[in-house]
Structure 1
Amino acid sequence: MSNIIMIFASMTGNTEDIAKAVERGIRSTEAELTVKEVMDAETSELANYDGIVLGAYTWGDGELPDEFLDFYDDMDELSLSGKKAIVFGSCDSSYHAYGAAVDLLIEKLQSIGCEVVLEGLKIELSPSKDEEEQCAQFGRDFVAKL
């Protein structure tokens, strides 16, 4: 049975809604899941899990949210070879860089040895009912890759 950790940041609730839908998909499988907001997580925890799920909204013109910055920087101290990961985030198409936080997190995970096994999931603002199912499927697909 796979052991997964999900760490996310949400300001308006959009990314949290995505996280809940991904969580629903993961929990519909045999996998065990721990969910934390980034402010309550330590990077050292990532080594204790088979699978890593990160979620963040994109701030401004393509930055990570402030509450994710320390965690992001601390990830440089890790070596997560053999770990599998996915990334999701809420996005806003009114900005030039669409969902850049998702891309930044994927690049960071890959730089520390993770295999990102699914394309980053980018949802415009809050997920619709159809997108909620897409998010749940994203979670199920991740478990299938572990």
Structure 2
Amino acid sequence: MTRTTRETATGWFSALTSGDADRAREYLADDVEWVNYTPVPGYNDRMPWIGTYHGPAQVLDSLKVFLAMVEVGTEELVDLVVEGDLAIGILYEKSVVKETGQSFEVEFVQRLRVRDGRIVDWKSYTDPSSILRAIDGRAA
């Protein structure tokens, strides 16, 4: 039995917010396209985990880069909207950049498109200003 879009999104966000990468992998299609913001040279390129990735291995590698730089404190799903094969989750995160010890808070949106119970298209949206300040070692 194939998971519904809601079941897939709920499972994905549960795995993501609990830090369970192995379980998160189960929700990604083999041909997933993962767009984690768009790098802008001289602005957000100090966030080495952002960019466009294809396939679960690249996605999980980008998450490992993020986790090598950031100690995730709180990450929670605030709201979830599902319609057809589309799910939109709003998440809240409070974390610390390991190198600088500076914390940041951010709310971000993830848009998921689901096919046969797996995520085939994923895109994240946020204002990265607080993350960049923390990377630079400046308090918010």
TM-score of the pair, normalised by structure 1: 0.31
Bigger strand fraction: 2
Bigger helix fraction: 1
TM-score of the pair, normalised by structure 2: 0.32
Q: Which has the higher contact order (CA 8 A, sep 6+)?
A: 1
The structure with the largest alpha-carbon Rg is 2
